Amino acid sequence: MTSQVFYRKWRPQIFNDVAGQEHVVQTLRNAIKSNRIAHAYLFCGPRGSGKTSTARILAKAVNCQDPLEGEPCNQCDFCLAINRGNALDIIEIDEASNRGIDDMNNLKERVNYAPNIFKYKVYIIDEVHMITREGANAFLKTLEEPPPHVIFILATTDPHKIISTITSRCQRFDFHRLSSIAVISRLSHICQQEDIKIDPEALKLVAKVTTGSLRDATNLLEQLITYYGNTIEMAQAQAMLGISGDLRIRELARHIVARDVSCGLKVINSVASEGLDLRQFNRELVDYLRQLLLAKSGSADMIDATSDDLAEMQKAAGSTSLDYLLNTIKLFSSVDLRMDTYSPLPLELALVESVISQHAKEKAADAPVNRDWPSSRTTPVAPRIIKPVEQVRPAGLVSQPSKVAETSLSGSAPLSAPGHLASAPSGTAMLCEPLKMDDPNDLSYLQEHWKDFINSMRGEGSGGNLDARLRHACEPVEIKGENLVLGFYHEFHKSYIDNRKYLHLIEKKLQEVFGHTYTVNCVMLLPGQKSELKPASSNHLVEAALSMGARIVEENAETEVK
């Protein structure tokens, strides 16, 4: 006889064997005891939570010749036939391959035949959400009023995909994702019966990796036994699962908390250079950061760690803010390593962005608040320093509702609100550069302020980093009526941004910042087609200063005018 794999060999045979679903099995057991059996059941829940096993136990219980307190006896001919899988009156159907209207019509004809030997003919229909709408409609009448000898048990992992008319005709039971304690308990029972010696920490690791799926956990346990034999240690489980248990996870977390970008980048590259699985490394890092978040929020009792490790986490969490930890976890948990699991770039970007964004928040919080500003969250652009001309009179000051390109004629004095004079030494004045453009077809103006627009996109997008996706990736190249053409330097950036949900965000922000409605189109630029930076003299603020008698003495990142 061919040996069975563990998940089949140790499949629950009675309701008491079903792990972690007491609310379901108790209800079914009571229904059988009181002979209140429904004609249709709907079992919903994640994979490996016991839906199909419970359906088979229910099929045995309703047909058992000698049930005991609602449980099948597993001794009578009917129970043994179902356990062997050769019971003709228990029909299992996979709707992934029998989902059309013809399949449902065929089923409608078959249910009218009486059972061969059993009391009930039980149809266990798996993946019922895969049935087509036409097939579901053809099945409705049979499901609502089946022959008295028929019971339907429908199972699905996606109940929201099932039409409501089917759901309303069934008794619905929701299977929960199993807790780690329930999975560990079941695995320990299997190990005891199979004479397997395994480190308890290894069992915890298996339960954690399989995220509540008992079938996955049982398969993984069998893989460990096949490879290492009947004695399994923690290090062996870590090696097979690809879990590093690397101290560099804690080291990188410490650098993240300390906002040490240089040391953090060194750790990431050392991990990448050794060929470790960066996806698994990132998962472990996010889990460790989550534990820091729990420690910081006063929920240390929820952390499964030794007292020494817990003390280390509390010390690290105490040196940073809850807001910074929250933002960091969001950034690292959104890292996408599916395309290239060996490139450290996504991890490097997440590290740098977490530190930069926190510095920006703290700088904005420390800045003096001016009530005349349209929004207290306005982020200033780095100022262009122009030396003051005596008795300069500001002309044409215009206020604006969005980002402001700051220009100071008095060294490092702070800007006032748009359209207002800031306090400054006698004989000097402050100019604020408006972003709202009068002519919607003024491409040069939009190009000149493109960097300001990108800064205004910070926080947008599913990961809050749409500005980083646009920065140094594209530029406006043409305006055709209400159509704005963005030219991209690389296909990777174009394919990412050329998505309706991102284009909608960009178009909305363009209207807010520049005051005009545009429809954005993405194109690829030819090699070498990237536009050069415009000379400082093309800036209209510089032109205004020149008209007042100033002169350019040098052009670089900051233009100095005398």
pLDDT at 330: 92
pLDDT at 191: 92
pLDDT at 58: 94
Cβ burial of 76 (10 Å; 0-12, 13-18, 19+) is: middle
pLDDT at 558: 43
Cβ burial of 321 (10 Å; 0-12, 13-18, 19+) is: middle
Could you tell me the domains of the chain? 6-174 (3.40.50.300), 180-241 (1.10.8.60), 247-360 (1.20.272.10), 443-524 (3.30.300.180)
pLDDT at 532: 46
Which one-letter DSSP state was computed for residue 425? Answer: -
pLDDT at 382: 44
- For 383-395, write each residue's pLDDT tens digit: 444 444 444 344 4
Find the radius of gyration of the CA atoms of the chain: 33
CA distance 147 to 199: 53
pLDDT at 213: 87
Long-range contacts formed by 81-89: CB under 8 A, 24+ apart: 82/56, 83/13, 87/118, 88/116, 88/117, 89/63, 89/115, 89/116, 89/117, 89/118, 89/120, 89/121, 89/122
CA distance 349 to 343: 11
CA distance 382 to 404: 10
Q: Which residues of the chain have pLDDT under 70?
A: 1-3, 242, 244-246, 339-341, 365-436, 527-562
Query: SS3 string of 43-80?
Result: EECCCCCCHHHHHHHHHHHHHCCCCECCECCCCCHHHH
- For 39-98, write each residue's pLDDT tens digit: 999 999 998 889 999 999 999 999 998 888 889 998 998 999 998 888 888 998 887 777
Helices (H), 320-344: 322-333
Is residue 504 within 8 Å of 512, Cβ to Cβ?
no
Element (H, E) at 282: helix 278-296
pLDDT at 3: 65
